[in-house]
Chain A
Amino acid sequence: MVATLPSRVRANAGPAAARRRRSPWAVLRENVVWGVAVLALIYLLLPNLVVVLFSFNKPNGRFNYTWQRFSLDAWLHPCAAPGMCESLGLSLKIGVVATIVSTLLGTMIAFALARYRFRGRTGSNLLIFLPMATPEVVMGSSLLTLFVSMGIPLGRTTILIAHIMFCLSYVVVTVKARIAGLDPRLEQAAADLYANEWQTFRRITLPLVAPGIAAGALLAFSLSFDDYIVTNFNASNASITFPMYVWGAAARGTPVQINVIGTAMFVLAVLAVALGQLAGRRRSR
């Protein structure tokens, strides 16, 4: 497999490759780079393949770790694992609300930081950066001390507060990058054509920034939906999210249904990304 790849690459590169001088060392280097890259891709994807494969397993005991025989049971009865679908519902609810709030607040901050020079801008940038440079265990535990000291009961509200907090910075960074990459001439052209500021923003700026906002929202949702560490510090026994359910299952016994959810998420997300890219390509045409 490794041996065939470079030839395909060479075919893709076309005339550019023919012009380049090719020493034996260069040929070897190309092989090595692709060889390591393919191994890295296998390393990245292997666990996903295992998750998909084992969603069709019928394990003998409580743990779904060794392959026994093919079965569609888990796919036909996804909610048969007690408590799992409730935890999934809670994670989806928290994920949606956290995404909406953090995307809204984060986009506002991104516009302020990307478009204005003002006092305290450096400090604001630092405050955005710090949560991303803080390990989850520190963020989770510090919020726990706040909630406990203030006598605030732990539950879905405290989880939501925490999720909005750590999603915010990622939305800001994503949207800010998009705003910084805009062509300023488009807005100037709108102004030349007598558009007022609000019209320019709504008809020109916002549609151009929208892909960045969408990417930020997608990132926020996946961060929220997948979070275990921060959530675990700020949850109660009555607010079990899907990752907390999986963590508990790792100790008690892993139902096949968690793999069904993992597989479905994977397929849906890949489809969404593929559709997004197709739409983007059609628009750019």
Chain B
Amino acid sequence: MTATSAAPAARSRRRIAGLPYLLLLPGMLWLGVFFVVPMVFLLSQSLQTGTLETGYRLTFHFATYSDSLAQFSRQFVRSFEYAFLATVLALLISYPLAYAIALKSGRWKPVLLVVVVAPFFTSFLLRTLAWQTILNSDGLVMKFFRGTHLIELTSALGWTNGSQLLSSPLAVVTGLTYNFLPFMTLPLFASLDRLDPRLLEAAGDLYATPLTAFRRVTLPISMPGVVAGTLLTFIPAAGDYINSQLLGNPQTAMIGQVIEGYFLRINDYPTAAALSFALMFTILVLVSVYVRKSGTEELV
């Protein structure tokens, strides 16, 4: 569709040779110098030895990778566990929300969309701090958990420690899920909004149960939104350390926290760079596997 619509415009414009390159140049140069080149510097930094005071030399010291990953394997794995949990939870929460807004809200659709986007407009640090207020020991949520003895269940499962909700894995995952929820809801909404309700009626006329209609019509149509939403949630969640810092405890530390500490406080640049590069590499591998897998599912 884009090929046919762009063709006449492209034909009429072919006279200005090199115009697309002129349009691209400044922005691409910016990305090249301040995104690609830094990645090379980061890789190089991770293979250097020395200290910040005496200077670093490139010695191809690959042991930094094995040493730092062995030392921080817990935080590394935990980051991906929490990101995975937050992504699944966000998908389970967002799907009905996006479905309701796209297909059932009628003329309230624009209002509800604003409601979904609105939280974006308050600093996310402030909103994460607000969870400290919501979950603290004098709060209503805590009273509910204590009153229903849910807190004993979550403690037994290791989701909370002792008699509080804050400073726990539960609080960190709650915060992560919350912070990236709009990133999941909006792509889901975009793909569900394209669903023609008559398709579902047709499925019903052909004796499909609502469940079958959902599985065979709604879900396949929303798959691009599911893939985009899960990527937009998983990637930033895996690198996040705001939630684990503000809502967690030392036992919930994620790899971003370690990287930040080693760069900005301990000033051990090679270790921090190695962890940072390993995080990037792992995410890229996971994402490309996931995109390929979901691509084939879409074809089926």
Contacts and interface: CB of A to CB of B under 8 A. Distances in A.
B114 A133 contact: no
B6 A242 contact: no
Question: On chain B, which size bracket covers the interface?
Answer: 35 or more
Given A137-B241, A233-B264, A243-B125, A66 B138 contact: yes
Interface string A82-119: 00000000000000000000000110110111111110
Contacts of B196: none
Interface string A31-49: 0111011011101111110
B266 to A, nearest CB: 13
Contacts of A239: none
B27 A48 contact: no
A134 B36 CA distance: 11
Given A20-B204, A66-B136, A233-B263, A168 B273 contact: no
Contact of A114 (B6, B44, B126): B6
B10 A269 contact: no
Given A32-B96, A141-B259, A141-B276, A243 B121 contact: no
A45 B116 CA distance: 8
How many chain A residues sit at the interface, stated as a range, is 35 or more
Nearest to B174: A43
Nearest to A258: B126
B274 to A, nearest CB: 11
Contact of B134 (A47, A118, A250): A47
B119 to A, nearest CB: 5
Contacts of B129: 246, 250, 254
The binding surface of chain A is classed by DSSP as helix
Given A44-B182, A165-B34, A226 B119 contact: no
Given A33-B100, A197-B12, A47 B27 contact: no
Interface stretch (B104-112, B143-151, B157-165): B104-112
A85 B41 CA distance: 36
27 contacts: A34-B100, A36-B100, A44-B182, A51-B127, A66-B133, A66-B136, A108-B24, A109-B23, A111-B23, A113-B24, A128-B31, A135-B283, A137-B276, A138-B276, A139-B38, A165-B30, A197-B13, A222-B121, A226-B120, A229-B242, A229-B256, A232-B264, A250-B125, A254-B129, A265-B121, A266-B118, A277-B110
